[in-house]
Amino acid sequence: MSEAIFDDIKLKKLLDKRFERKVWWVNQGDSIKSEREDGVLCAPAKAGTSRLIPHWERLVEIAPDDIILHYANGKLLYVSLATDCAVNAKRPYGKFDEVNLVKAEYYDLFPPIPLNKFSEELQELAIKDGPLNVIGGVKEGYLWRLNPDALKTIQDSQPETKWPELAILGGKSSWIFQANPKIFDINGAIAELKEINWKVSRYRDRIHAGDTVYIWEAGEEAGIIAIGKILSNPALIEDSEPEKKFLDWKRQKKMKRNNI
């Protein structure tokens, strides 16, 4: 998009550090089958006593593209990718009608990874609000924090386990692209087009095909509105015909541009 630009003031810190994906550990126990079938994580929105329960409250911190490890019955059974932020909803199963719910894509870990394969090494990382107690056992509670080092430690503990590419950190990068709705109808373009060209003025030598892109709409209700994949490395190309109707051509003439 010729007129979709980076707002350096708003996004400099985010772009310089790239988009950091968080890593989580969820204890599911008897709920794992139901949550796996529904493709969700969910925890009560509040306790019956109205007091805060940290391991429930953390669910609202999950962001799209975060990695979640699923533990039950002494093993890590699945890894998932969060596909949306938490929403308040009715629980699709069991008790507690009002829950915070996160949608996630589950993938089998085969073979599953027993706790004793990595508990000692994970305990040494001393992760704040992590899933293990002082003797290396799993804490009671639903959602706990991990980090990239913990994920790598777990992956290295059993090399024969196959992990989906989405859970391999360090191979691909993530970027935030900002659209100015006064210049480009980004919502209309996303609804109608399968591919969108985007002007980049920075990081042309670091952006690559296969990277994840988060689309940020500027304005009073600014925020991320879509997630996609970069399809090609930056190159000089012409504006595409399908995109023209979404552009404000009073402010911008047709031009060649750096594009992905």
User: What's the pLDDT band for 47 if we cut at 50, 70, 90?
Assistant: low
Residues 31 and 100 in one domain: yes
In a domain, 237, yes or no: yes
What pLDDT is stored for residue 172 in this prediction?
A: 64
CA-to-CA distance for 194 and 234, rounded, in angstroms? 18
User: What's the pLDDT band for 57 if we cut at 50, 70, 90?
Assistant: very high
In a domain, 1, yes or no: no
The answer to whether 63 touches 22, Cβ cutoff 8 Å, is: yes
Q: Which helix (H) or strand (E) holds 54?
A: helix 54-57
CA-to-CA distance for 146 and 129, rounded, in angstroms? 8
What pLDDT is stored for residue 12 in this prediction?
A: 44
Domain boundary among 134, 167, 200: 167
The answer to whether 106 touches 118, Cβ cutoff 8 Å, is: no
Residues 101 and 32 in one domain: yes
In a domain, 30, yes or no: yes
In a domain, 214, yes or no: yes
Residues 204 and 249 in one domain: yes
User: What's the pLDDT band for 171 if we cut at 50, 70, 90?
Assistant: low
What is the average pLDDT across 221-229? 84
Residues 123 and 180 in one domain: no
Residue-number span of the structural domain to which 78 is assigned:
20-167
Number of structural domains (the chain) is: 2
Q: Is 103 helix (H, G, I), strand (E, B) or coil?
A: strand
What pLDDT is stored for residue 249 in this prediction?
A: 46
Residues 38 and 129 in one domain: yes
The answer to whether 260 touches 207, Cβ cutoff 8 Å, is: yes
Residues 213 and 130 in one domain: no
Q: Is the pLDDT of residue 256 over 60?
A: no
What pLDDT is stored for residue 20 in this prediction?
A: 67
Residues 118 and 219 in one domain: no
Q: Is the pTM of this model over 0.85?
A: no
In a domain, 106, yes or no: yes
- Ranked by mean pLDDT, which of 91-105, 119-133, 238-252 comes out on top? 119-133
Domain boundary among 128, 148, 167: 167
Render pLDDT for 69-115 as a digit per residue (tens, 0 to 9). Answer: 999 999 999 999 998 899 999 888 776 678 999 999 999 999 999 99
Residues 196 and 120 in one domain: no
What pLDDT is stored for residue 96 in this prediction?
A: 61
Domain boundary among 167, 191, 210: 167
Residues 111 and 218 in one domain: no
Residue 141 — left, alpha, or beta (φ > 0 → left; ψ -120 to 50 → alpha)?
left
Residues 215 and 187 in one domain: yes
Residues 56 and 137 in one domain: yes
In a domain, 158, yes or no: yes
In a domain, 3, yes or no: no
What pLDDT is stored for residue 110 in this prediction?
A: 95
Here the CATH number for the domain that contains residue 26 is: 3.10.590.10
Residues 74 and 154 in one domain: yes
> Which segment of 36-45, 145-154, 231-240, 250-259 scores lowest on mean pLDDT?
250-259
